[in-house]
Amino acid sequence: MMRRSGAWLCAALVLMTLGACSSDSEELQAWMDQQKREVRPNVPPLKPPKKFDPDPYSVADAVDPFAMQKLTVALKQEAHQPNSLMAAEMNRRREPLEAFPLDSMTMVGSVNRKGSSYALIKADGLLYQVKQGDYLGQNFGKVMKITETDIELREIVQDASGEWIERQTNLQLQENAK
């Protein structure tokens, strides 16, 4: 009997609590409806897009500063000057690894054979063997020294004024090269 009266008491409490909540939800719904009626969004209208007026390309018939013909003429002129860095470079035969940019090559190892050091270079998915005096890259890069961990190169590049200058570059061993 005691159990039944306790169960009835609990059920009555739950019903009264739910009844109180239903009146709160009605008030909340009424307040939200009132706010929807009173509050109007204030969004400024978008500006129409500006009309695009393309500029005509007026230098289409001018000389292209990056044309290979212009570069070839400049290199030949430079090669004919005495004591020029480029004179020896222009008169020698190109090597296969000069077709690739230096940043596309990776050093994957080194070998010492009969007192000479050789570096193993990976370029375009192929493995090449280079020694001191060989050429790499597109900036007339000559191998000056080979160690176990890097290749020291001398490159010939143009500075801002157009003069040919030498610079030192290293190609370092890449241990995880695939």
Per-10-residue mean pLDDT of the chain, 178 residues long, equals: 62 62 77 86 88 87 79 72 67 90 92 90 92 93 93 88 84 76
Sorted by where each starts, the structural domains of the chain and their CATH numbers stand as 94-172 (2.30.30.830)
- Say whether 31 sits in a helix, a strand or coil: helix
CA torsion, ordered 15, 18, 19, 22, to nearest 10 deg: -160
Q: How far apart are CA 150 and CA 144, in angstroms?
A: 11
- Say whether 142 sits in a helix, a strand or coil: strand
pTM of the shown model:
0.52
Burial class (CB in 10 A: 0-12, 13-18, 19+), 107: buried
Quote the tokens at residue 139. 């900036």
